[in-house]
Each structure stands twice: as C-alpha cells, then as structure tokens.
Amino acid sequence: MMVKARRSGSGVVASQASNPIELAAALERVFERDDAAVVERFIRGRELRVGILAGRVLGVLELAPVGSAAAESRAMAPARLGAARQAGILNLAERAASALDTDGAVCVDLIVTEGQNEYVLAVDALPRLTPGQPLSQLAEAAGYDFPSMCEAILSRAQVPRRAAAAMRATVVPFPARTTDAELAREATPALARAFTA
C-alpha cells in the first residue's frame, strides 16, 4: 500500500507499507503533518510527471529512483515513450487537471505499468517553481524563461467574484499614520465576510 498525507504534494510524507507494522508507522508520520491520510494500492511502474502551464500542456518527464525512494532523490529525464503513448499520457493529465478545475501552474503525476496501464497518482496545483524543478524544466523546454513562466501563471489568476465585489465595495480609511498591521486589521473582517457569504 501507499500512504500519504491528503494535503501534501510532491510525495511529501509518502511511504510504502507492506505489513500492518509499516502501515501503522506510515500513518503516524502522516498524522504528524495532516489530519487525514490517503491509503491506496501500491502500483509498480514508471513514474511520470506532466507539466501544464496556463492551460498549455508542456510535456512529460520520467522520474527515476536514485538511491532511496524519497521524492528528493529522484532524477528527472525526458520520458522514454512512443508518440502514441506520450499523446495518451498528456491527454490523461490534461483531463485530470481539468476535472479538478485547476489553472495556472499544474503538475500531474502518473504511473505507467508494464502492461501499459496508466494511473493518475496526484494533481499538484501548487508545484514548486524554482529552477531545476519539473515544471520549470518543462516550461524551459517549451520556450518559457522564468519571467515569462511567472507571467503565464499570473495571466490566469482569478479573484473569486464575492471577494472582488467586496474589494470594490469596501472602503478602508487611511489615517495619516497607518501601519501595515493596522490596515490589515481594518480590511480583514470585510474580506473574510466576502469569502464566507
């Protein structure tokens, strides 16, 4: 079985458990960081990561284990896939991201088994953007430099309608000597109401 934290991306606090003792230890690690765990069948196969930027599918990388199974110990390389298989992987990743209504920067993790079955493992709507990370590598290969990648993400940013309406309707007085903390205290109740209305 695989055990992972519900709210953590990129394999954070993910463990494989093959017996009840390992399962208990894995759950204990998860509950140190999260209040819920995802326990799923372990699927053996090649792990792939697809990058999507502002609605554009960028490509796919293969994650190869190096040493231990920790997420940080994986080397990324272009995926070794035939054209038809790659098209299917990219389509599946795009559909998974769309089904969850993600936008901006997204990474979709998948497994391809020896029998060529494809499984979506995770959809990360907050992938790391630093150089050397999968999304940055895929964006660079697709012709984006770091500033243009950030611009593409920001171009799709949206403020929820209720919050936007509250921001237009909320007038926050600016006394002559307002500190950031005072301003935040004044604006917070109106914005909180907008998100809960």
Predicted pLDDT of residue 16: 85
Where does 25-183 show beta strands of DSSP type E? 37-40, 46-53, 56-65, 74-78, 105-112, 118-124
The answer to whether the predicted template modeling score (pTM) of the entire model surpasses 0.85 is: no
- Tokens 């997420």, located at residue: 71
Residues of the chain with CATH 3.30.470.20: 45-154
Predicted pLDDT of residue 195: 46
| Among the listed residues 92, 60, 64, 106, the one whose alpha carbon sits nearest the alpha carbon of residue 79 | 60
Predicted pLDDT of residue 100: 92
CATH number for the domain formed by residue range(s) 45-154: 3.30.470.20
Distance CA 56, CA 90 (A): 10
Around Cβ 70, how many Cβ atoms within 10 Å? 13
Collect the ranges in the chain with pLDDT lower than 70: 8-12, 66-75, 158-197
* φ/ψ (deg, to 5) at 3: -125, 125
Around Cβ 163, how many Cβ atoms within 10 Å? 17
Predicted pLDDT of residue 183: 47
The distance in angstroms from the start CA to the end CA of the chain is: 41
Predicted pLDDT of residue 43: 86
Distance CA 168, CA 157 (A): 18
Predicted pLDDT of residue 197: 46
DSSP 56: E
